Each structure stands twice: as structure tokens, then as C-alpha cells.
Structure 1
Amino acid sequence: MNALLTLGALNGALAVMLGAFGAHGLKARVSPADLAIWETASQYHFYHALALLLAGLLARQFSAGAAITAGWVMFAGMVVFSGSLYLLVLSGQRWLGAITPLGGVALIVGWLMLAWALFRSVD
């Protein structure tokens, strides 16, 4: 759970840095459509950095291994979803968009696992 908390905090900082880079460093270099893709990546990155913190705190509160697993699934989804979009914009390789939904599925599964962990832990 400490790893999830640390990853959550570090990814929160990284999401803010990448969001600022997109807003200031990429604005004049990429198309408005690519800038919107970057913004989506950084928003989901930030939301799921917070979700990692939540999963870590819930695992600590309820001693729920399922919350830890949910956090790791979310982390993997965040890397694939946001990472593929960041790389798509930076590299121009449009095929990367084909793997983005796999990350989205992992994010959804992570949230469902977190819901299950909470359901099982509530008295």
C-alpha cells in the first residue's frame, strides 16, 4: 500500500508537469486536435494518480488486498492509456491510438475491483 501511495503522489506531480508542458510547451508545436489528445491524457493521468492514493488509503484502512490489486491494475491502465496518448502526440505515430482502449479497459476494471474491495470490507 505504501508503494501505491508513493506512486499516486509521484504520478500526481508528473501529471501536473505533463499538463503544463502540453499547455505551454506544445501549444505552438502541435495541432489543436493533438493538444486535445494531450489534455485528455493528462486529465486521466491526474484522476488516476488520485485513484492510486485512494486505493492505497483504502488498503491501509481495511487491510484489503483487493484494493491493492485494484490500484496496480489502475496504475497499469494509467501507463497504457495516458502513456500511449502522450507518445502518440510526441511521435505522431497514430497506431498508438489502437492500444489506448486497452488502458481504458484496465482503468475500468481497476475501478470495479476497488468497488468490490469496498463492498467486501464494509460491515
Structure 2
Amino acid sequence: MNTRFYLVFAALSCLVSVAFGAFGAHALKAMVTPERLTVWHTGVLYQMTHSLGLFMLVAASAWLAPVLQKWAARFLVAGIIIFSGSLYLLVLTDTPALGAITPIGGVSFLLGWLLLALAALKKQA
């Protein structure tokens, strides 16, 4: 697994999450409905949570089966991009159809966490 890539991705994703949270709380607040602002903040929350999860996954490398860890990381990254990204685009473009893509990101998150659990269970001592 390319741990440097995942550490850099997680750090930059946390940075974007903080920036987008501030943007939503200040600039975006005046431009969109309260319902759309809630959607935006859901994207921010999930992005931050799963970015921190990605940090945890890298930090726990010694206790994880490598192949499953790699796939867990890939699914968490995909989830961050697809889930949060689709919500951000939905709000910025006012395109509700993008909401149909969001569950794909949610499933990616679920698979990432499941694979992380399996990676811990399958690690040979």
C-alpha cells in the first residue's frame, strides 16, 4: 500500500473539509436554502470523518492484512470523492439528480469500513 499517498490525501482532504465548512458557514449561507446548506454540511462532516478514518487506517498498518488494507483505503477514498463530492456539486449546481450518485459513495464507505475490520481479523501474527 502506498501509505504516503493515503497520508497526503487524508491531510489534504481534512484541509478541504475545514475550508468547505467555513465556506458553507459564511459565504454559501447567503446563496442557498437552509435545506441545501444542510446537504453541504453533511458532505463536510462525512469528508472529515472518513479522512480521519483514513489516517487511522494508515496508522494501524502493522495490525492489518496488507491486501485488505489497500482495498479498504481505496474504498474510503472513493467514498470521500463520490459521497461528499456529489453533495457539494448538488448544492453548487442546484442539480438534485446528483443525489442519485451519493449512495454509491455511501456504499464505498461501508465497504471500506468492512474491509478494514476484515484486514484486522485476517492479519497473521
TM class by shorter chain equals over 0.9
Measured in 2, the distance between the counterparts of 1:109 and 1:31 equals: 32
User: What does residue 107 of structure 1 align with?
Assistant: 109
Q: State the identity %.
A: 41
Is 1:79 matched up with 2:81?
Answer: yes
CA RMSD of aligned residues (A): 1.3
Shift of 1:68: 2.1
The aligned residue for residue 93 of structure 1 is: 95
Give the whole-Å Cα distance in 1 for the aligned partners of 2:56 and 2:124: 16
> Equivalents in 2 of 1:25, 1:121: separation in Å?
47
TM-score between the two structures when normalised by the length of structure 2: 0.92
SS of 1:30's equivalent in the other structure is: coil
CA contact (8 A) 1:19 1:39 kept: yes
User: 1:18 matched to which residue of 2?
Assistant: 20
SS in 1 for 2:121: helix
In the TM superposition, residue 122 of structure 1 has moved relative to its aligned partner by 6.8
Q: Kindly report structure 1 stretches of 4+ aligned residues shifted beyond 3 Å.
A: none
Distance 2:50 2:93 in 1: 24
For the residues of structure 1 that align with 2:10 and 2:30, how far apart are their CA atoms? Answer: 30
Normalising to structure 1: TM-score of the pair?
0.93
- Equivalent residue pairs, number: 122
Deviation (angstroms), 1:52: 1.2
Deviation of the 1:65 alpha carbon: 2.8
Give the drift of 1:5. 1.1
1:53 & 1:106 partners in 2: Cα distance?
17
Matches of 2:7 and 2:75, distance apart in 1: 14
